[in-house]
């Protein structure tokens, strides 16, 4: 006879290992505490999570719930701390889903920023036209999920200024980005309109170096590093959830700091 007290047969921890990035991103914001077990996940979700697929589903449910909570808690006017110029790391620390030697520089003269979706004037933009828009500088902390961070000095046009200028529908849900290295990304409109969210074109007062997103990258003060696409080639305003490179692999989409 089966004893009521027989411990559940747990599959090996490899099932959780499949989902480490998402578990880490949930732990970072206190949604899960260190040392998640399958037992705890079962308790949290009320689901029997014994294989990789059901663990993935349970974690994604927690993550989607977490997106809503973070969006509700987000204060559109609260500025992140800024730092003195003496704290700025030069050069910045590089990261991408491939090593720095594999960066393919973008030809700035031929480059155009394409626009799509809920935007009145979708004429492509050149670097010169973007440089003529009002500029802002932020000296903020960049935090990567991998567990490192640095202070960076970025300037460019506030994304809000740009979206207003092109007649974007500011009530839409998402702003999505395409990049030269196939790293799709997307953010919520509230964050897009935040005063420290920039379409950055310089670092520490110099034109962005190739590895750091020349000619145009996103820099926000309120989200993890991976949410800041480099080498942007297109911006779309949409109400359809766009996902992103890491988000589609299980990282939490909102990823607020």
Ligand X SMILES: Nc1nc2c(c(=O)[nH]1)N[C@H]1C(S)=C(S)[C@@H](COP(=O)(O)O)O[C@H]1N2
- Residues binding ligand X (CB under 6 A): 92-97, 142, 144, 179, 181, 183, 212, 225-226, 228-231
- Quote the CA–CA distance of 185 and 205 in Å, as a whole number: 26
**Hey, which residues between 210 and 229 contact Mo ion (CB under 5 A)?**
225-226
User: What does R_g of the chain's alpha carbons equal in angstroms?
Assistant: 20
- Quote the CA–CA distance of 198 and 207 in Å, as a whole number: 15
Compute the least distance from the CB of residue 101 to ligand X, in Å: 14
Cβ-based nearer residue to ligand X, 42 or 233: 233
Compute the least distance from the CB of residue 251 to ligand X, in Å: 9
Is position 256 an interface residue for Mo ion (rule: CB under 5 A)? no
Instruction: Give which of ligand X, Mo ion, none residue 204 binds (C-beta under 5 to 8 Å, depending on kind).
Output: none
CA distances from 18 to 51, 55, 62, 119, 228 (A): 10, 9, 16, 39, 25
Tell me if 141 sits within 8 A of 83, measured CB to CB: yes
Instruction: Give which of Mo ion, ligand X, none residue 212 binds (C-beta under 5 to 8 Å, depending on kind).
Output: ligand X
Q: Chain-centre distance of CA 29, in angstroms?
A: 15
Cβ-based nearer residue to Mo ion, 178 or 227: 227
Is position 133 an interface residue for Mo ion (rule: CB under 5 A)? no
Cβ-based nearer residue to Mo ion, 24 or 165: 24
Q: Which 3 state secondary structure label does DSSP give 20?
A: helix
Beta bridge partners of 195: none
Cβ-based nearer residue to Mo ion, 49 or 224: 224
């Amino acid at each position: 006879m089966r004893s009521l007290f027989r411990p559940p047969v747990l599959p090996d921890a490899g099932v959780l290992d499949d989902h480490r990035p998402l578990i880490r991103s949930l732990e970072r914001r206190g949604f899960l505490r260190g040392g998640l077990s399958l037992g705890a996940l079962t308790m949290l979700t009320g689901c029997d999570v014994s294989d990789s697929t059901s663990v993935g589903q349970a974690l994604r449910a927690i993550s989607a719930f977490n997106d809503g909570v973070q969006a509700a808690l987000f204060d559109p006017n609260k500025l992140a701390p800024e730092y003195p110029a003496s704290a700025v790391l030069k050069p910045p620390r590089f990261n991408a889903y491939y090593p720095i030697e594999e960066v393919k520089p973008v030809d700035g003269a031929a480059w155009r920023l394409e626009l799509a979706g809920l935007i009145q004037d979708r004429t492509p933009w050149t670097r010169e036209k973007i440089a003529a828009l009002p500029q802002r500088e932020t000296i903020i902390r960049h935090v990567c999920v991998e567990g490192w961070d640095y202070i960076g000095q970025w300037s460019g046009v506030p994304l809000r200024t740009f979206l207003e200028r092109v007649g974007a529908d500011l009530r839409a849900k998402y702003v999505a980005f395409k990049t030269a290295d196939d790293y799709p990304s997307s953010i919520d409109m509230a964050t897009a309109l935040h005063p420290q969210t920039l379409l950055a074109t310089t670092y520490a007062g110099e034109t962005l170096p190739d590895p750091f997103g020349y000619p145009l990258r996103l820099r926000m003060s309120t989200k993890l590093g991976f949410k800041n696409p480099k080498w942007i080639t297109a911006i779309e305003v949409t109400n359809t959830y766009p996902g992103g490179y890491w988000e589609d692999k299980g990282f939490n989409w909102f990823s607020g700091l």
